[in-house]
Amino acid sequence: MKLKKISIALGVAMMSAMSGAHAIEENVLKNIETRVGAIENKMIGWRRDIHAHPELSNQEHRTAGLVADHLRKLGLEVKTGVGGTGVLGVLKGGKPGKVVALRADMDALPVKELVNLPFASRAKGTHMGKEVDVMHACGHDAHTAILMATAEVLAGMKDQLPGTVKFLFQPAEEGPSEPLDGEHDHIGALAMVDAGVLDNPKVDAVFGLHMIPAFPVGTIGYKPGPILASGDTFAIKVTGRQTHGGFPWNGVDPIVSASQIVMGLQTIVSRQLNLTKEPAVISIGSIHGGNRENIIPESVELLGTLRTFDDGMRADTQARMRTTAESIAQASGAKAEVSFVKPGYSTTVNDETLTATMLPTLKQVTGGHAVVTPKLSASEDFSEFSKKVPGMFFFLGSSTPGKEKTAAPNHSPKFEIDEASLAVGARAMTALTLDYLAQP
C-alpha cells in the first residue's frame, strides 16, 4: 500500500513538472512549418540521392562532401574529416545564448537492397576485406537529409536565433567496416567526441532521432531514462586438445565445453542478475570449430552480443561472463579466453529533466502524437554524446499509416520509409532547438 502511494505521488510530481514546461509558441511553430514545407521536395531529393549512393562506415566521402557543400552555402562554419569522415557545421545566431548540438549519422550497411525503387541502391563497398552490396537499411539517409533541412531552416532564422547550433554529421554509427587495430578503436560518435565537437563552445544539450517503422508517420516515440541498450560484441575461444572422435578420452573436447559455456552464460541472466532493475540479453550468434565428423578439434570460437540498460550492470555482467566461461572450460580440462571488442556501445540514456522540458513541444509538433516507447535492446552510439552533456534521443515514425505492423524492420533488405516522415523530423528538430534556446 505504501509503495502504491509513493508511485502515485511520483507520477503526480512528474506530471506537474511536465505541465510547468512550456511549448514552443504557436506563431514560431507556424513559421517552422512554412519554412520546412518550402524545402520539403529538396529534402526528399537529398534523401533519394544519398539512398542511391550509400557508403559504409568511415567511407562516407561522397555523403560528407554533399553535406559540407550544403552547409558552406548556408554560411556556416564547416569542418570536415572530423572523427574520420564526419562533418561539423556551426551556426552562430544573431543573439547570445546557449549551445545546442544536433546529430545525424551518415553510414549505410553491408546489405543488398530488395526494395523496388527508382533510386534503389546498386552500390558495392568493401566490408572487412570483402566486396559487399551496400544499402541504407537503417534510415541514415533520411537522418542526414533531415538535418540538412534543419540547418537550412535555422540558417534562415539566424538573426533571431538566441545562441549557437552545432550540426554533427557523424560517420560509422554502424560500427567498423574494417578491423580495428587497437590504437585507433575510437570511431563514430566517440571519435567525434575525441575531436572536441562538444567543446569550444561547450554544448549544453544534444538531440538526435532515428527512423522507426513500428510507428506511423506523424508519431514520435520518446522515453526518459534508458531508451536503448548498451551493445558489446564478445568472442570466446575455447581451447582443448585435438584427438580422434572415436577416442575422446585421449584429448579434451572443446565442442562439449563450448556447448556448456553457451548454456552457462544464460544462467547469468536468469539466475544472477537482478532483472527487476533492468533487463539484459546474452546471445551467441556464431560457433565455429572443426572440419570433419570424426576429428575432435583443437579449438572452438564463439561470437556473441551482450545488451544491458545500465552501465554498472554491463560491467558486472562482463565480469560474470569471464568467470563462467573460464570456470566451465577449466572443469573439463579446457581453457576459455573471453574478449570484448572495444569500445562497445554504452546505454543510451535520455536526460529526464531535458525530456520533460521538451515534451510539450514534441506533442505540439505532432498534434499530440508523441508517445512513450518501451526501451529497445538495439544499440546506438548517440550514447557517447549524451554521456557528456544532457541528451534526448527519440524515434520518428516512418511507416505509411496502417502499414506499421507489416513494415520491414531496420537492417532488413526490404526496409523502406514513407518520405512524409522527413518533414515531421525536420519540424521536430527545428522546434526542439528553438524551444531549448528560448528556455531560461
CA atoms of 80 and 93, how far apart (whole Å): 21
**Cβ pair 241, 253 in contact under 8 A:** no
When pLDDT is averaged across residues 320-343 and rounded to a whole number, the result is: 96
92 membership: H or E segment, kind and range: strand 86-92
* CA gap 43, 47 in Å, rounded: 6
Question: Which H or E run contains 211?
Answer: strand 205-216
Mean pLDDT of all residues belonging to the chain: 94
For residue 113, pLDDT over 70 is answered with yes
Q: pLDDT tens digits, residue range 15-29?
A: 434 444 578 889 999
| Residue 164 CB neighbour total at 10 angstroms | 20
Name the pLDDT band for 3 (thresholds 50, 70, 90): very low
- Residue 206's DSSP bridge partners are 101, 391
Residue 245 has pLDDT above 60, yes or no: yes
**Residue 343: predicted pLDDT:** 82
Quote the pLDDT of residue 338: 98
Burial class (CB in 10 A: 0-12, 13-18, 19+), 256: middle
Percentage with pLDDT > 70 across the chain: 95
Q: What is the mean pLDDT of residues 357-374?
A: 96
Nearest of 348, 371, 381 to residue 278 by alpha carbon: 348
Q: Strands, DSSP E only, in 107-183?
A: 124-127, 130-133, 162-170
Exposed (0-12), middle (13-18) or buried (19+): which is 320, by Cβ within 10 Å? middle
Active site residues: 345, 419
Q: What is the pLDDT of residue 24?
A: 86
Inform me whether the pLDDT recorded for 254 exceeds 90: yes
Give the pLDDT of residue 182: 66
3-state secondary structure 235-278: EEEEECECEECCCHHHCECHHHHHHHHHHHHHHHHHHHCCCCCC
Q: Which residue has the cell 564478445?
A: 234
Asked if pLDDT for residue 380 goes beyond 60, the answer is yes
- Name the residue with cell 552500390: 123
Mean pLDDT, rounded, for 126-132: 96
The DSSP output letter for 400 is: P
Q: What is the pLDDT of residue 183?
A: 63
User: What Rg, from alpha-carbon coordinates, does the chain have?
Assistant: 24
Judged against a pLDDT cut of 60, whether residue 429 lies above it is answered with yes
Query: At 306, which amino acid appears?
Result: L
Instruction: Give the tens place of pLDDT for each residue, 144-192.
Output: 999 999 999 999 999 999 999 999 999 999 999 988 776 667 999 999 9
Contact between residue 288 and residue 300 where contact means Cβ atoms under 8 Å apart: yes
pTM of the model: 0.91
Q: What is the pLDDT of residue 12?
A: 35
**Do 298 and 239 contact (CB within 8 A), yes or no?**
yes
Q: pLDDT for 35-83, tens place per residue?
A: 999 999 999 999 999 999 999 999 999 999 999 999 999 999 999 999 9
Q: For the chain, which domains are there? A: 21-227+349-438 (3.40.630.10), 230-340 (3.30.70.360)
Q: Is residue 358 pLDDT above 80, yes or no?
A: yes
Q: Give the angle 289-297-301 at the CA atoms, nearest 5°.
A: 30
Residues above pLDDT 90, as percent of the chain: 90
- Summarised one tens digit per residue, pLDDT across range 71-97 is 999 999 999 999 999 999 999 999 999
